Amino acid sequence: MAATVMELYGSKVFNEHEMRERLPSSTYKSLKATIEKGQPLDLDVANVVASVMKRWAIELGATHYTHWFQPLTGITSEKHDGFVAPQHDGTAIMEFSGKELIKGEPDASSFPSGGLRATAEARGYTAWDPTSYAFVKDDVLCIPTAFCSYTGEALDKKTPLLRSMKAISDQARRVLHLFGKDVDQVHTTVGPEQEYFLIRKEDYEKRLDIVLTGRTLFGSAPSKGQELEEHYFGVIRPVVSDFMKELDEELWKLGIPAKTKHNEVAPSQHELAPIFDTANVAIDHNLLTMELMKKIAARHGLVCLLHEKPFEGVNGSGKHNNWSLSTDGENLLDPGDTPMQNLQFMVFLSAVIKAVDEYADLLRTSVATPGNDHRLGANEAPPAIISIFVGEELEAVIDAICSDSPYAGPVKMKMDLGVDVLPKFSKDTTDRNRTSPFAFTGNKFEFRMPGSTENLSDANFILNTAVAKELRDFCSETEDAADFECAAAAWVKKTLNEHRRVIFNGNGYSEAWEIEAERRGLPNRKCTPDAMVALKDPKNIKLMEEFGVLTRTEMLSRYEVEMEHYSKVLNIEARTMLKIANKQLIPAVTAYMDDVAGTAATKMAVNESLSTRAEQKLLTKLSQYADEMSDGVDELQKVADEVSAMTDETAKAHAYHDVVIPAMEKLRASADAAEEICREDYWPLPCYSRLLYYT
């Protein structure tokens, strides 16, 4: 009989339950103190934990262990070490020490560091993040870790996230203390909704562009797009349903709370949403989810595309970052029922609004990737301008607070600074504004700009740190006040007045908004190279340094890594286009022309009076497109060579954007035109209809 969900769930995780069952109680207590209060783990305790963890992993068939980490490439890395230790007598034992659990030393020289670490001193180490459970995957015990250089610089995505979670927790606790509540910790919670495409493996293998770059670099639009809107929440096709079922089971085994699954707007596009969790755990889980999606798709003859924009003219894939703050029992972004709860809520809400307004440029960097550049601002994803949607009811509250006027919500009342007149309002029930990049959805914020491949650590460490700063400022302005409630309400009013320009409830996709946003002075950085400069902005460096999240050097190194990454991706895309055009597309058109010309010649030979008009018309067009493609290839080759030889990373990334991308678009346009009229069996690339409608 198949195992039940309850039996499966968490069966491959060294979770709380396993720890309690298996560890001696004193060890368990020390480990819990480390997990919950961040106390350092003593080596004796680590030795016991390691040995128990090893035994548990071996029972599940594990033969190796790995420190599982997230270098700046964004994906996860692992290097497997065997437990096996040969003995003098020819036998072997299985070894795993506390030291090996706590710290690993992968050769760090091949991971991007933005010049932080010269290759000669390529040493870096990984350190266990005991707040994220170890798990067994493919017979390997995986230990979630952070990755640092020996001089202490963060070389990964997780370290700043963990630091930022501590920063926001400290400041939120101070705020709660002022409200008369003392808590140990405030957690950042994250629920990432993951979009993806599934296509057939046999089609994938015929498309070098998807294989090498994750997206189609060529392809004319299908005659049926997503205009019928029949796919969203539509019946899930059997092969996809089988895939989803297996995926759910594998995720549940890893303790990943996969909850909802459905078809998305575009044909072949789907979504998976888990139940939210503490930020670092949710992000570890999201990375595992992406890995498993790819792996399990292959077992069903499918390929999972996580690229932000695999198909031109068809919706791309995003990853919504649902975010909130909570104590062990209270969601701090829940408006609550009493005026006092309302005031506390308004403080946290205002802090988020201020943070997003002041650090919009920095937040923008967290979602800037070459792939996501195709999404943001296109007609399907939020624009590159960051604004906040709060809904009508909350906006009315904000209006009332800002103008000292009566609140025009369901319950009329006079508003002034006194806390007992802050209105009570219900959870937002209005239609959620899908066009907003940053929407308040009742008791959490949903950041909708991240692309589907994103490691959400970046978005969250920036958000956490910026909000931590606003909470700190709130504390310093109100903690010595004679009347705290009055001072808090005054801070809310001042903050909302100063930062409400970032609130926008209208249609974020409209051109009018772009103009209005410019009038309001909101940044609109349209492409990755433009966005990344915010990593070098003194205001942003100061923020990160003040809270010990990243140093100036670390920020600058991240800028280098991101700009370099942008150029590398574009270089690969340009080269792949050239290969495909030269070796596949131009020869296809030439061969077809030969065929058509042959037909015309044969007809003439049979009877000179037979018309060859159709052949001639076709040949004229084919020949024109072939010429255009050939010219396009020359041009792209030339600019790609020039730009790739540039040495200044900033100038280079901009040149890829300004010069190489237009050349790529030009080549694509002529190839797509040729595809439209080329006989199907001559065209070597599976067409969009095939990719999108055959799973």
- Interface with ligand ADP by CB under 6 A: which residues? 189-191, 193, 273-276, 322-324, 331, 441, 443-444
Query: For Mg ion, which is the closer residue by CB, 130 or 383?
Result: 383
Q: Which residue's beta carbon is nearest to the bound ligand ADP?
A: 191
In 3D, which of 487, 489, 518, 488 has the Cα closest to residue 501?
A: 518
* Contact call for residue 654 and Mg ion (CB under 5 A): no
Residues 492-551 contacting Mg ion, CB under 5 A: none
Contact partner, 547, from ligand ADP, Mg ion, none, Cβ < 5-8 Å per class:
none
Please state the closest distance from residue 575 (CB atom) to ligand ADP, in A: 38
H or E segment and range at residue 693 = helix 688-693
- SS (HEC) of 47-98: HHHHHHHHHHHHHCCCCEEEEEECECCCCCECCCEECEEECCCCCEEECCCH
Contact 400, 415 (CB under 8 A): yes
Which spans in 390-535 are helix H?
Answer: 392-403, 457-478, 484-499, 511-520, 528-532
Query: For ligand ADP, which is the closer residue by CB, 73 or 331?
Result: 331
Contact partner, 274, from Mg ion, ligand ADP, none, Cβ < 5-8 Å per class:
ligand ADP
Please state the closest distance from residue 428 (CB atom) to ligand ADP, in A: 11
Structure tokens at 162: 């963990």
Residues 313-342 contacting Mg ion, CB under 5 A: 320
Contact 251, 261 (CB under 8 A): no
Please state the closest distance from residue 441 (CB atom) to Mg ion, in A: 7
Query: For ligand ADP, which is the closer residue by CB, 8 or 190?
Result: 190
Please state the closest distance from residue 276 (CB atom) to Mg ion, in A: 12
Please state the closest distance from residue 116 (CB atom) to ligand ADP, in A: 32
Contact 561, 403 (CB under 8 A): no
- DSSP 3-state helix, strand, coil percentages of the chain (rounded to 5)? 50, 15, 35
Contact partner, 433, from ligand ADP, Mg ion, none, Cβ < 5-8 Å per class:
none
Contact partner, 553, from ligand ADP, Mg ion, none, Cβ < 5-8 Å per class:
none
Please state the closest distance from residue 502 (CB atom) to ligand ADP, in A: 21
In sequence order, the 6+-apart residues with CB closer than 8 A to the CB of 439 are: 388, 389, 432, 433, 445, 446, 448
Please state the closest distance from residue 669 (CB atom) to ligand ADP, in A: 37
* Contact call for residue 444 and Mg ion (CB under 5 A): no
Contact 466, 358 (CB under 8 A): yes
Query: For ligand ADP, which is the closer residue by CB, 145 or 441?
Result: 441
Please state the closest distance from residue 254 (CB atom) to ligand ADP, in A: 17
Burial 583-622 (b: 16+ CB within 10 A, else e): ebbbebbeebbeebbeebeebeeeeeeeebeebeebbebb
Query: For ligand ADP, which is the closer residue by CB, 292 or 550?
Result: 292
Compute the distance between CA of residue 624 and CA of residue 588 in angstroms, rounded to an integer: 14
Contact partner, 323, from ligand ADP, Mg ion, none, Cβ < 5-8 Å per class:
ligand ADP
Contact partner, 309, from Mg ion, ligand ADP, none, Cβ < 5-8 Å per class:
none
Please state the closest distance from residue 429 (CB atom) to ligand ADP, in A: 12
Please state the closest distance from residue 322 (CB atom) to ligand ADP, in A: 3
Structure tokens at 323: 């975010």
Which span (193-201, 230-238, 309-317, 507-515) binds Mg ion, by CB under 5 A?
Answer: 193-201
* Contact call for residue 157 and Mg ion (CB under 5 A): no
Contact partner, 191, from Mg ion, ligand ADP, none, Cβ < 5-8 Å per class:
ligand ADP
Query: For ligand ADP, which is the closer residue by CB, 327 or 650?
Result: 327
Secondary structure class of 12 (helix, strand, coil) = coil
- What are the CA-CA distances from residue 240 to residues 9, 243, 246, 263, 268 (Å)? 22, 5, 10, 10, 9
Which span (172-180, 190-198, 281-289, 418-426) binds Mg ion, by CB under 5 A?
Answer: 190-198
Burial of 515 (0-12, 13-18, 19+ CB in 10 A): exposed
Query: For Mg ion, which is the closer residue by CB, 320 or 472?
Result: 320
Contact residues: Mg ion, CB under 5 A: 193, 320
